[in-house]
Structure 1
Amino acid sequence: MHSLTQKTAAAVGALATTVGLTLTAPPAWAAGPRDVTEDVLAGRDVTLTGDTVVSLPPGTTTYAGVFRGEGALTVRGTGALVLLKDSDFTLPPSRRHQSVRIRGGNHPYVTTTAPDPPAVIVERGATLQYGDGGTTGLIGHFPYDTPAFHLNQDNIRVDGTLRLALKSAYNLGTITGSGLITQPRFLWGTWDLSGAHPFTGVIDNGTQVNAGRPEFATSLPGVRKVLNQGTWTVDTPLGQTVTMGMDFYQREYGSDINIQSRPGGKVILTGQYSWSDRGGDTDPSLSDPALNWTPAPKHVNKRGINIKGADVHWGDGSTHRIFMPGTAETVYINLLAARTRSKLTLDYDGPVTLGAPIGGGVFHDTLSAPGAGDVLIAGTPGNDVTFAAAQYYDGSTTVEKGAVLRLGSERGDGSLLMGTDRRRVVNNGTLVAQNRSTPATLSRVGGSGSFVQSGTATTTLSGAAVTYTGTTTVEKGTLALRDGATLANTRAIELTSPGARLDTGGRALRVTSSLSGVGSVLGGVANEGVVNGGLTVTGDYTQTASGQLRFSGVPLRVRGKARLAGGLDLPAAAPAATTASAGSTASSGSTASAHGSASPSATSPTARPPVTVLDHAGTAATTGTFDGLPEGAEVRLAGAVYRISYRGGDGNDVVLTAVTDTPTGLRHGPGSAGAGFPATQGAGSAGSEQFGWWPYVLALGMLGGLVVPATLRTSGNGRRRAGRSGTRPARRDGRGHGRGRAEG
């Protein structure tokens, strides 16, 4: 009994002592970090019993011991700590709360939410190095049964430098901080950079980083820059989107970015991949952006991207910095087929230039095979993409509504690979051909968008698969139609400068909508739509019964026969003498001389300038006259009488010269047959005197033997019908427009 009492008393005393100790000496992690610098310098193993700190002296400390236990380890000071062995410790249970889940069912991927605070902290000025080029030296704890990789429970904060000198595969958990994480070159270790990381510093990849895999997505929204001196690989889980918003840099030849994605997955790159010639590892940058476009010695500025069956977007519509600035000598871009063909979307909010070809070879040998994928120019407002190199991918090119794709620039000429059904252009925006020296051919162009020829080099549309329905504009140079290509589906054809040429290859251009401008059509015109004056037609001009010639104040120049069976539409508010020579831009409402110069208002015979009806583009004399209008005959136009000459202008043009302001009727010159033509009204409102249509319509029939149809049909808006004999009085409809048939 006594002995039991003694034992009990001893136990109570011991408990009291324990309680006393508890009250006066809380655990080390609660009282502040424990400094284990002496143990580390001596190479002794360290057991963490709370928060622990190592204060490094200058220089390098190589540590062959290990850390174990529970707590957080902080490395501070000005030196470097090199770990030669793997260490395994964790935070205390009270500080572990992150949720790790495996989703995706048969396609599992890992997510981490509400991550734990860091178990490893590298303060500014200090360096922590995992390993010395071998396979050990990592700090980590791996309690999770994650697929295809080992997720580290020990999250890390890096405000100083973390050097990863490991040859194994490893994971660092969730990373915070603003320092530098660097991996030496040629070690061939693989860093599985899984999950979302608040890290805002710089990553220097010397060998291999997996920034996403089928088993995890990677998010690095705050990373400032990546110095990529190895291979940066991006992948996605099934149906997931991964966005990389940082700028990439490289200093050495041989670095690249490899991108893969699962079905439904997408990778968005919103930064820029540039060469770096300054800033070192901690702040890589380029002194002059032009250096991206200029080869450097030993090709040290050549960098590339390999898209392996992935859906990749350059830009997200909020920037206009091209992801890969450079030429074929400084960058390479490969579209490869893995599980599927690749897709590259360019999505910018302003103009960008792609100066390199897209191919499908192996790494730097990009043009050894065509690229296996399709390219899309997104319809983001302002998205204006220029291809300044000959493209070598074998898929489709889609230009969405609102977007612009240009072929060629001052940096180089551009083209698209054609020749198969797969190699086609779906143009729902605007496609601009602006090569300077290299001709380009497009054989399959569809969609609802417009086409613009604006380069000095010829662009050829080839084959019957040219079916786009937007406007066709020729600003300069030559647009050629070959091998059955037509513009029958285009909404309108416009030639906007005297040097603009539309070459039909000897076939008459079939106009089913409208043709206008001041350029040249080589090969003739078959007009079933509307043709505005001012063009030069080299070849025959045929205006069908359904067609319509609209006078725009500029004469139509014809270097062949003119066959007319359609109508003439004059401007609704044409002045008494709206004229200009071919090549002028005078329009309705202006008064100009036969050579396009301004003239006074038409109030007297001397104030009314001559009217050039037809500009004979050749040098031979004009032969023949209009029926009933011999040389010197007079015709009334808009309240004035004009005398016709077939030797006007430069000696062979058809010109009308005013002779009086107040005619009492139509007068004829010597030798007139006396048949005459009545005064006429144009297509304007009732009572407004305008040009009659006969001088213009008949003038077109003059060249090449004066092929004039028996009947000129007009609609009820004022255009007349001409037969062979007699004159039938015109009737007025309820709108004041003339109807009937004028015969002569």
Structure 2
Amino acid sequence: MRSLTHTTAAAAGALAAVAALTVTAPPAVAAGPRDATADVLADRDVTLAGDTVVTVPSGTTKYDGVFRGEGTLTVRGTGTLILTRDSDFTLPKSRQRQKVSVLGGNHPYVTTTNPDPPAITVERGATLQYGDGGTTGLVGHFPYDTPAFRLNQDNIRVDGTLRLSLTSAYNLGTISGSGLITQPRFLWGSWALSGTHSFSGMIDNGTQLNAGAPEFATSLPNMRKVLNQGTWTVDTPLGQTVTMGMDFYQREYGSDINVQSRPGSKVILTGQYSWSNQGGDTNPSLSDPALNWTPARKNVNKRGTNIKGANVQWGDGTTNKIFMPGTAETVYINLLAARSRSLLTFDYNGPVTLGAPIGGGVFHDTLAAPGAGDIVIKGTKGNDVTFAAVQYYDGSTTVEKGAVLRLGSGRSGGDGGLYTRGGLYKVVNNGSLVLNNTRRALSLSRISGSGSLTQSGATTTTLTGSAVTYTGPTTVKKGTLALRDGATLARSRAIRLTSAKSRLDVGTSGLRVGTGKSLSGKGTVKGAVTNSGVVTTGLTVSGGYTQSAKGELVLRDGPLKVTGTVRLAGDLDLASAADATEPARKITVLDHQGRARTTGAFTGLKEGAKLRLDNTTYRISYRGGDGNDVVLTAATTTPSPTSDTPRTAADPAASPGTTTAGTASGGLGWWPYVLAAGLLLGLAVPVTRLGRGRGRRRGGRHAA
């Protein structure tokens, strides 16, 4: 009993002491993460029961154990931890929140919303390596019934380095952080990067990365750069648009970007695919952008893209950095057919130059076959695309309203062109098509649309066939624009030759200037011209000139020079001559350089007829100059009327039987046509010249 009593008393004392401690001790603090470093260094398996940390010493630590259980794993330190066996653990149930759905019905694809927090974290300075060049070493848990790939439930945050040394197919779940994820070259493991990721660091793709598939879309909105040293593949589920906004860089020969898409889908690439010669793995860059256009030793700067039956767009209208900068020696572009033909759209807000051909061969052998697809130059303001290489795709080229396509850069080595063989070739031009080759002759056919065509290169462009039907204005600034094999400019609403060196070769079929059309400028038309519209003087016609009763010849910028036969009818407009500061004693309207007699006459102006030009009376002759020129010779001079009493054909100051240069009775005459042409082509007939004060009337068509 004493012993029992003593024991009871002792117990009572102990309880009292505990009670006292409970009253006076500070509140309990939760235990920190478990440190499993010793277990890992000893190759013991680790069962997680909450947050766990491993501190990796400098150097390399190979771990042959596995992680299991419930919790999180954080790798820190300065060394590299290599996992050689697959590990499988999960977050505690209380932290799991993400929802994984399989949508799309008969075309299933996977989405992840509200992703779980990371199950694995690699802190800055540490390296975690999955695998050792084999098929195992991945950390993951795969509870989902997803089609075609296994979605990893264990999301990962990488602020240090994650090295993927695996030869199997794998998924990392949702990735976050700002570190480096790197896959060594030539391992042929395939990483399925599914869903939307907040990761803002660097991905070094050494072998194969699938950034999208028919079963999932990929979004990396915070990434600025990718180092691509293998194959980066972009694909989409049915009916979705995927945007890749980062710049791609490459250091070694043999890398490419493959793009695929499903019906109704589109892939938009807004960055640039460039060579890198500095910055290492974490910040690749190019010291001089011009190096993308110059072959480097052993072709180390050659890179390519394969568009496989996809709808692809380069740019989003907010940049003018072309996606593939380079030439045929530094880049290749293949437009291929898979489920359907490919479509490539250019959407930039400034000038860009495509220096390489688009073909359809195998990898760098791009010209082994024509590209199977079509090209669109989108109508974004400022979108000005130059093809500085002859293109080798077999489909259509569409230039939308507001856009510009230039064939040729206008510099040596920058000549362009289109592959014109096959039934799929055509140009739909609703914007501006500029032909700017310096040495290589161009040949085009099947040009439709409402846009303009400008010949500005030193070499010859030939339009062939009856399918040249565009309705916009035609301008020849430099070189020769030739028409052959039935090609005409009958539907072009205005034709302008802007310099003495401009040349329009219309061939044996001649040029017909139809009603409502305007032919003007200073250059040479090689071939016969039939005028039922408006022609301005200052041109040279190396052929015959026939003006119908509906035609009009406008006197401006010197005479119309004609080497062939001349047949005249219709109107003579002296508006520009009437606006001259000082009247000339003799004005040559048409310099007929051939030997044949000029036949016909302008309406109401037979040989010797008088006409008034400002305050001077002229007589017209069709036998002037060397015997067959059309010449106006001053006969008399009369005082100018005051500005308050504008002169008309009925003005008493005009002598009887004299026609006055002035507004055609009852209408505006030829001015609607010339004004329209001036707005479209920048004609050098400014509206302010039509009446410069001093009592002059606005000029118009000669009144019959």
The bucket for the TM-score relative to the shorter chain is 0.7 to 0.9
Q: Is this contact kept in 1: 2:661–2:703, CA < 8 A?
A: no
- CA change 1:333–1:677 in 2 (3 A) is farther
CA distance in 2, matches of 1:396, 1:193: 34
The match for 1:179 is 179
The match for 1:130 is 130
The alpha-carbon deviation at position 647 of structure 1 amounts to 11
- CA change 1:197–1:659 in 2 (3 A) is same
The match for 1:230 is 230
Q: Does 1:364 align with 2:364?
A: yes
Residue aligned with 1:141, SS:
coil
The match for 1:503 is 505
2:561 maps to a residue whose letter is R
Residue aligned with 1:506, SS:
helix
The match for 1:682 is 661
The match for 2:142 is 142
Q: Is this contact kept in 2: 1:419–1:443, CA < 8 A?
A: no
Q: Does 1:169 align with 2:169?
A: yes
The match for 1:306 is 306
CA distance in 2, matches of 1:103, 1:25: 54
Q: Does 1:50 align with 2:40?
A: no
Q: Does 1:193 align with 2:193?
A: yes
CA distance in 1, matches of 2:289, 2:220: 25
2:532 maps to a residue whose letter is E
The alpha-carbon deviation at position 323 of structure 1 amounts to 0.2
Q: Is this contact kept in 2: 1:686–1:736, CA < 8 A?
A: no
C-alpha RMSD of the superposition:
3.1
String of CA shifts for 1:125-170, please: whole Å, max 9, x gaps.
Answer: 1111101100011111111110000000000011111000000000
The match for 1:340 is 340
Q: Which has the higher strand share?
A: 2
CA distance in 2, matches of 1:337, 1:401: 28
CA distance in 2, matches of 1:207, 1:737: 74
1:460 maps to a residue whose letter is T
Q: Is this contact kept in 1: 2:217–2:237, CA < 8 A?
A: yes
- CA change 1:686–1:545 in 2 (3 A) is closer
1:327 maps to a residue whose letter is T
String of CA shifts for 1:509-562, please: whole Å, max 9, x gaps.
Answer: 011122111111101101121112211111000111222222235321111111
| TM-score normalised according to structure 2 size | 0.84
Residue aligned with 2:274, SS:
strand
Residue aligned with 1:146, SS:
coil
What are the within-5 Å matches in structure 2 for residues 392-411 of structure 1? 392-409=392-409, 410=411, 411=413
- CA change 1:615–1:122 in 2 (3 A) is same
What are the within-5 Å matches in structure 2 for residues 651-690 of structure 1? 656=632, 658=634, 660-662=636-638, 678-684=657-663
CA distance in 2, matches of 1:452, 1:532: 19
Q: Is this contact kept in 2: 1:460–1:480, CA < 8 A?
A: yes
- CA change 1:105–1:243 in 2 (3 A) is same
The match for 1:540 is 544
| TM-score normalised according to structure 1 size | 0.80
- CA change 1:26–1:372 in 2 (3 A) is farther
Aligned length: 632
The alpha-carbon deviation at position 39 of structure 1 amounts to 1.3
The alpha-carbon deviation at position 651 of structure 1 amounts to 11
The alpha-carbon deviation at position 686 of structure 1 amounts to 7.8
Equivalent position to 1:461, from 453, 463, 474: 463
The match for 2:328 is 328
Q: Is this contact kept in 2: 1:495–1:501, CA < 8 A?
A: yes
Residue aligned with 1:680, SS:
strand
The alpha-carbon deviation at position 659 of structure 1 amounts to 6.3
Q: Is this contact kept in 2: 1:637–1:679, CA < 8 A?
A: no
Equivalent position to 1:415, from 401, 414, 417: 417
String of CA shifts for 1:424-451, please: whole Å, max 9, x gaps.
Answer: 0011111111101001111111111111
Q: Is this contact kept in 1: 2:375–2:397, CA < 8 A?
A: yes
String of CA shifts for 1:574-594, please: whole Å, max 9, x gaps.
Answer: 4xxx3xxxxxxxxx7344xxx
CA distance in 2, matches of 1:379, 1:40: 60
Q: Is this contact kept in 2: 1:435–1:457, CA < 8 A?
A: yes
CA distance in 1, matches of 2:327, 2:118: 44
1:273 maps to a residue whose letter is Y
- CA change 1:183–1:490 in 2 (3 A) is same
The match for 2:481 is 479
Question: What are structure 2's unaligned runs of at least 5 residues?
Answer: 1-17, 641-654, 670-697
- CA change 1:236–1:740 in 2 (3 A) is closer
Equivalent position to 1:529, from 520, 523, 533: 533
CA distance in 1, matches of 2:610, 2:701: 22
The match for 2:672 is none
- CA change 1:426–1:634 in 2 (3 A) is closer
CA distance in 2, matches of 1:561, 1:63: 97
Residue aligned with 2:68, SS:
strand
CA distance in 2, matches of 1:617, 1:126: 88
The match for 2:472 is 470
1:459 maps to a residue whose letter is T
The alpha-carbon deviation at position 307 of structure 1 amounts to 0.5
CA distance in 1, matches of 2:219, 2:585: 74
CA distance in 2, matches of 1:91, 1:404: 56
CA distance in 1, matches of 2:112, 2:593: 78
The match for 2:568 is 564
- CA change 1:38–1:612 in 2 (3 A) is same
1:488 maps to a residue whose letter is A
The match for 2:373 is 373
The match for 1:589 is 579
CA distance in 1, matches of 2:308, 2:162: 31
Q: Is this contact kept in 1: 2:564–2:593, CA < 8 A?
A: no
CA distance in 1, matches of 2:90, 2:606: 109
The alpha-carbon deviation at position 213 of structure 1 amounts to 0.4
The alpha-carbon deviation at position 637 of structure 1 amounts to 3.7
String of CA shifts for 1:324-371, please: whole Å, max 9, x gaps.
Answer: 000011000001110101110111111100000000001111000000
The match for 1:256 is 256
CA distance in 2, matches of 1:736, 1:126: 84
CA distance in 1, matches of 2:206, 2:231: 8
The match for 1:216 is 216
Percent identity for Structure 1 against Structure 2: 71
Q: Is this contact kept in 1: 2:565–2:597, CA < 8 A?
A: no
2:614 maps to a residue whose letter is A
The match for 2:7 is none
CA distance in 1, matches of 2:44, 2:210: 35
CA distance in 2, matches of 1:340, 1:434: 33
- CA change 1:135–1:515 in 2 (3 A) is same
The alpha-carbon deviation at position 69 of structure 1 amounts to 1.2
- CA change 1:346–1:634 in 2 (3 A) is closer
Residue aligned with 2:475, SS:
strand
- CA change 1:135–1:379 in 2 (3 A) is same
The alpha-carbon deviation at position 662 of structure 1 amounts to 2.9
Q: Is this contact kept in 1: 2:607–2:622, CA < 8 A?
A: no
The alpha-carbon deviation at position 52 of structure 1 amounts to 1.0
Q: Is this contact kept in 2: 1:236–1:261, CA < 8 A?
A: yes
String of CA shifts for 1:375-404, please: whole Å, max 9, x gaps.
Answer: 111111111100000000000001111111
CA distance in 1, matches of 2:455, 2:702: 42
- CA change 1:628–1:494 in 2 (3 A) is closer
CA distance in 2, matches of 1:616, 1:85: 95
Equivalent position to 1:434, from 433, 436, 451: 436
